[in-house]
Structure 1
């Protein structure tokens, strides 16, 4: 349950911060220089609400395995994006919890960001394998379905 709640908190907080300041989210997405300009606005608009939706599913424990798979995929994408930025010599803030965009040379936190996202990937992987957690909608639904009323 702790893995589920940690992931839920991370996605809810990061999604809410990005949704609150859409302009900053656009700057963060653009800073990675991975997408054509025509997609930057769309990704910046959808990403916060996708993160919030994942966070809500994980918080209540509904479709936990699916939410965990999607969370793991998101973490892989985020890690790949940060590695790409580092490999190309970009000096950017990841924009993971708001902010984003260029920072002064030497002010990046790529290693910490990668390690954090890998830890979150491991939590998601655990939930893919063991999605049944206490206090979840999934558990309630499974128990109701198993009850021979």
Structure 2
């Protein structure tokens, strides 16, 4: 591997890891104070039975906060990236589904969402593009999970440059 790449990739990975952690921290923290509202936002997608949507909505902020913590620490980074990627794919599919069915909802991604007031237009394309960007961050960490300043690297006792050569 190119020595320049060996030098900067762990630091780029750190920035990617921390960026994705901030996304999950913001998403989870914005919903954890209103779990019922988070459940109503999930229910607005009209893909799950009401009771299941309420449980998913109540659990989701805690999953997001757990992902944020793992990524902040750099612990189980590949696992956190994989769960992140899976969640983001579900979110993208949900938004695309709502768009294709003509639903007028706020995604609830960074706060309590749900049905929009009459006449308000949803912004589905920017939400999907944003989530694709976050998915790219998760993909980077799936390929190169060892980053600078991480618990994974410290626990493995390996230099970060040796990962995935």
TM-score range relative to shorter protein: over 0.9
- Give the equivalent residue in structure 2 for 1:122: 136
2:73 to 60, 70, 87: 60
Q: Distance in 2 between matches of 1:64 and 1:141?
A: 12
1:17 to 23, 30, 45: 30
- Give the equivalent residue in structure 2 for 1:97: 110
Q: Distance in 2 between matches of 1:106 and 1:45?
A: 26
Deviations, residues 61-100 of structure 1 (Å, cap 9, x unaligned)? 0000010000000000000000000000000000000121
CA contact under 8 A between 2:40 and 2:54: conserved in structure 1? no
Q: Distance in 1 between matches of 2:57 and 2:36?
A: 9
Q: What residue ranges of structure 1 are gaps of 5+ in the alignment?
A: 145-149
- Give the equivalent residue in structure 1 for 2:45: 32
Q: Distance in 2 between matches of 1:48 and 1:99?
A: 11
Instruction: Name the Cα RMSD after superposition.
Output: 1.4
Q: Distance in 2 between matches of 1:107 and 1:62?
A: 40
Q: What residue ranges of structure 2 are gaps of 5+ in the alignment?
A: 1-13, 159-165
Displacement over 3 Å in runs of 4+? none
Q: Distance in 1 between matches of 2:130 and 2:119?
A: 21
- Give the equivalent residue in structure 1 for 2:3: none
In the superposition, the TM-score normalised over structure 2's length comes to 0.84
Q: How does 1:104-119 map to 2 (within 5 A)?
A: 104-119=118-133
In the superposition, the TM-score normalised over structure 1's length comes to 0.93
Instruction: Check if 1:134 corresponds to 2:148.
Output: yes
